[in-house]
């Protein structure tokens, strides 16, 4: 026997062999080592005995159903027409307000009026207003635009959109 085969398999290697995931080295070791092969056979024998015992116990028990015992008729609630009417009323009371709240905005477009597109001059005026508000709010802070000189010119290594589209 070689020195590698004289060492027995670890529990993990034996477990891998039991579930069918043993390595070729483990399988070769089991073919040669009677001690490890005996451990595997013993485990397989124990599992087979457990399966037979549980099967015999299950077959010896009387067949029972899993249904609950019927309740007395006085306490039984019938879900006849009254139950369906109650469910429909609840659905209407809860469902209609939710439906009206989350309905698509197709009906609200006519109420809001036509959508107007802003001109370039209006957009420039809005941007100037936003810049002045930003300056007023952040008087003591230096703008990242100024720090990184983003408003001056594009970075020399940056590509234009048309160059990016060509790639």
Q: Is residue 85 part of a domain?
A: no
Per DSSP, 139 falls in state T
Q: Is residue 86 part of a domain?
A: no
Q: Is residue 30 part of a domain?
A: yes
Q: Give dist(CA 167, CA 148) in Å, integer.
A: 27
Band of the pLDDT at 1, cuts 50, 70, 90? Answer: very low
Q: Is the dihedral angle over the CA atoms 133, 138, 139, 143 positive or is it negative?
A: negative
Q: Give dist(CA 139, CA 149) in Å, integer.
A: 18
Q: Is residue 9 part of a domain?
A: yes
Q: Is residue 118 part of a domain?
A: no
For 60, phi then psi, to 5°, come to: -80, -20
Q: Is residue 110 part of a domain?
A: no
Question: What's the pTM value of the predicted model, to 2 decimals?
Answer: 0.34
Tokens of 154: 């594009």
The residue range of the domain holding 37 is: 3-60
Q: Residues 17-67: pLDDT tens digits?
A: 888 888 899 889 989 999 999 998 988 888 888 888 888 887 777 766 556
DSSP 12-77: HHHHHHHTT---HHHHHHHHH-HHHHHHHHHHHHHHHHHHHHHHHHHHHSPP---PPPPPPTTTPP
- Domain count of the chain? 1
Res 44: pLDDT: 87
Please give the angle made by the CA atoms of 27, 28 and 33, to the nearest 5 degrees: 95
């Amino acid at each position: 026997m070689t020195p590698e085969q004289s060492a027995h398999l670890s529990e993990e290697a034996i477990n891998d062999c039991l579930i069918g995931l043993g390595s070729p080295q483990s399988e070769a070791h089991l073919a040669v080592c009677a001690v490890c092969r005996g451990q595997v056979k013993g485990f397989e024998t124990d599992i087979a005995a457990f399966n037979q015992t549980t099967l015999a116990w299950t077959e010896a028990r009387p067949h029972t159903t899993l249904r609950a015992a019927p309740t007395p008729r006085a306490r039984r609630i019938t879900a006849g027409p009254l139950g369906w009417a109650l469910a429909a009323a609840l659905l209407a009371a809860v469902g209609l307000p939710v439906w009206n709240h989350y309905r698509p905005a197709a009906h609200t477009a006519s109420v809001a009026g036509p959508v107007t597109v802003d001109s370039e001059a209006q957009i420039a005026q809005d941007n100037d207003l936003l810049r002045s508000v930003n300056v007023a709010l952040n008087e003591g802070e230096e703008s990242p635009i100024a720090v990184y000189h983003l408003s001056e010119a594009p970075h020399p290594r940056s590509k234009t959109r048309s160059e990016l589209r060509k790639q």
